[in-house]
Structure 1
């Protein structure tokens, strides 16, 4: 009787360990595996834009007066620069030429496609199957 009890306890511990191991491995797969730059600032840096920090109070004031968080053009003689001011974030400005701007646009497009693919994969993983989206999708209650 005693041997049977120990034997059953051993099997129970092995099964419990396997269940916990299965739960631990499935929880890590639920975290999104998004890699690469995601914010505009990270995309600008990845595209090769140069970060320029103001060194004088006059430069800081000029940075604050620029349009914030948007890319705009500045011409200096025959050269054209693309500029992104971020006074509230890094307290700097990002500057680049036409080639760096094209790199930025390509990276931004790739990031957008990756986000859309990730969202589509998430929706597909819900696996509604024959059940459909639920009663709220049919009646328009949640629209």
Structure 2
């Protein structure tokens, strides 16, 4: 059990992990899942492991480049609950403003052809921005 805790602390010293990620890293080292859960519960009670903190840090690091849909999906894949995601997502800021800033940085000018418009649309969709934000940004680009 002490070895599991030491390994967990070594992982957390490098970066924050979600509970599910850390469980996956510790599981091969443990004899049973109960020992892993006990270590994780203790780390949470000592506030060394926190899904809310992990979600906030992950969103802060990636919100400039990605939309709310992509951020939500990434956090779900890392085992975070919808409640933790919903609590952390407002810290990302306004999705429309982030989408507009990214579009301005990448393209800077409105599309001249339907093919260029489709390229801009696909880029923003891949980055996980909502249809509403993308439509507003592309309309804004045409009006500018």
| TM-score normalised to structure 1 length | 0.22
Of the two structures, which has the highest relative contact order with CA contacts closer than 8 Å and spacing of 6 or more?
Answer: 2
Greater fraction strand: 1
Q: TM-score, normalised by structure 2?
A: 0.22
**Greater share of residues in helix:** 2
Determine which structure has more spread, i.e. the larger CA radius of gyration.
Answer: 1
